[in-house]
Structure 1
Amino acid sequence: MEHQRDLPQQIHASTKDIHHALNQLIVSRLPLCLPPQADSARLYALGLSNFAWMYFISERAWEEQIARTNNHGDGNTRIAQILHRAYIPALHRSARLYRDLSQLNATVSEKPEGIVQNIVTHITEVAEARPHVLLAYGWILYMALFNGGRWIRKQLAKAGPEFWGTRNFEKACLSFWHFDNSRNEDDWKRDFRARVTEAGNYLTDEEVQDVVAEAKAIFHMCKSVVLELDAISSREQQSMQLFAPQSLAAVSEPFPDMQPAKGPPALSNALLRLSIHGIAAVIVAYIWLWFMS
């Protein structure tokens, strides 16, 4: 049965406090990942690769759920049909992330580490148990690009071709931040909002609560990463030691310490040996896009 509700507005209202808290947490950090504080895009690539996993895993899970619309014996067919209402393949970022990271010479390994591993496990499990919550990932991850992502894109572009290593850096290194130019970005944004709103109308009240709760969890995932990296940064500045990625493994709450699902590779340990202070700056700069919406 269809209900008239505004799921995007419910997500926004329910995450307003964590939006504000995280905005205050990171507002002073963005300049640290750009010139003159940074002299290359290595740290940007490292930071982006960590958050790329949220796109990799949620987009793959969404596609798998959509495929179930052809399997009439599957109990999740109704949810798959609901997800299909909000499905816009042109918004998917995974392929663009791969291209950007490759252009930035980001060597990859087989799996994520530390808290990112826990996040991957969480998304994989929740997408299987409550696939309707994928609407929360789509809403936050794509709308972030339409809103704060535009501002981030401008700041990154100001670094210029020398910083990015190519004159064609907008397409070669920053394609993640761009959308198919066959349509205006505002048109993509309006279309996606309308689709998510329509999809939300077919959810039960309990399912809507699940989506809103997962939206909050997404922000807490980001906060956990930022706070842990800040703590490590402080310790590393005192000891003048380089970052050891295994130190993140202790931060598991609220995600279970389990083996990650198979998925796209993370950056190699060679890049992970960069200073944690720089890493924190890059990752925080990336997270900033969530709080510009």
Structure 2
Amino acid sequence: MIPGFLISLLTFPGVVLHEFAHKKFCDLFNVKVLKVNYLTLSGDGYVIHEKPKDFKSTFWISVGPLILNSVSCFVLGLITASQILHAGALYYLAGWLAISFGAHSFPSNHDVEHILKESKNRIQNNESFLHYLSYPFVGLIKIANLLRFFWIDFLWAFLLIGFAFNIFNQNVFAQDSTQKNKAERPSDTLVVGDYYCSRFHASESEKIDPINKEEVKMLENELMADNLYLETLASEIKNMHVDEYSQESIDRYKLKVNYYDQKFEEYNDAYSLYSFKRALYNEMAEKYNNYLKENCEMRSN
């Protein structure tokens, strides 16, 4: 097994943020801080402060790291997800910090003992029965600390990062869908051409020509842009350096190829939609022209 102090040193940013959270919540509730050591040689840190005046201060100072470290882990998880296709320095830095922050989220048993002690005092003074709710919370934290032997603190970090990846992917999918549909369908325009139609009504345009020419042109332009993007991706893949002895290099290449395949499938779907719209437009345009010939008169110059 890896010694605990070594894990703390490898993930020292999480230790520093843990103690920083204690200090900031002390400042927030006007509790004087006497001494702070963000990181010791043993891989731990500590904050010495005056006794809080009320239960609320005790509670939030104790659980401060659970809030700040978890939120920081989630935010850095989003940054990591945004960099997954690049896998550069920012990707690895954000990933390391996310794991470090998340793994040191749980308050220590010493922290939650303060909550338990204050709850007992409030209950003995016949204050709100809601203080009983602190018992299961303290129990859960103590169980989590016992399970650190089974890496539950790192499991918590990876759960937060996984949730961030899921949120990021859903957001990207929603943005892609919005961009595809952001252009509102143009209103049908009556184009009579060389015909003069005194009996022609606007309602007939909707019946005969529901597919606007501009809509078909817009789809065609989107296909051209997608095709250019696919060519750029293919060129990047072709020029990628793959070290057959490096699993990381191979995985990065496979990820890029899979992304290209996904975009190629999307391109094929878009092309099918364009072909359908184009054929439908041609059919409707023919009906429209026939209507003009049957119901309108040629304009004389």
Report 1 or 2 for greater relative contact order, CA contacts < 8 Å, sequence distance ≥ 6.
Answer: 1
Coarse TM-score class (shorter-chain normalised): under 0.3
Higher strand share: 2
TM-score, normalised via structure 2 length:
0.23
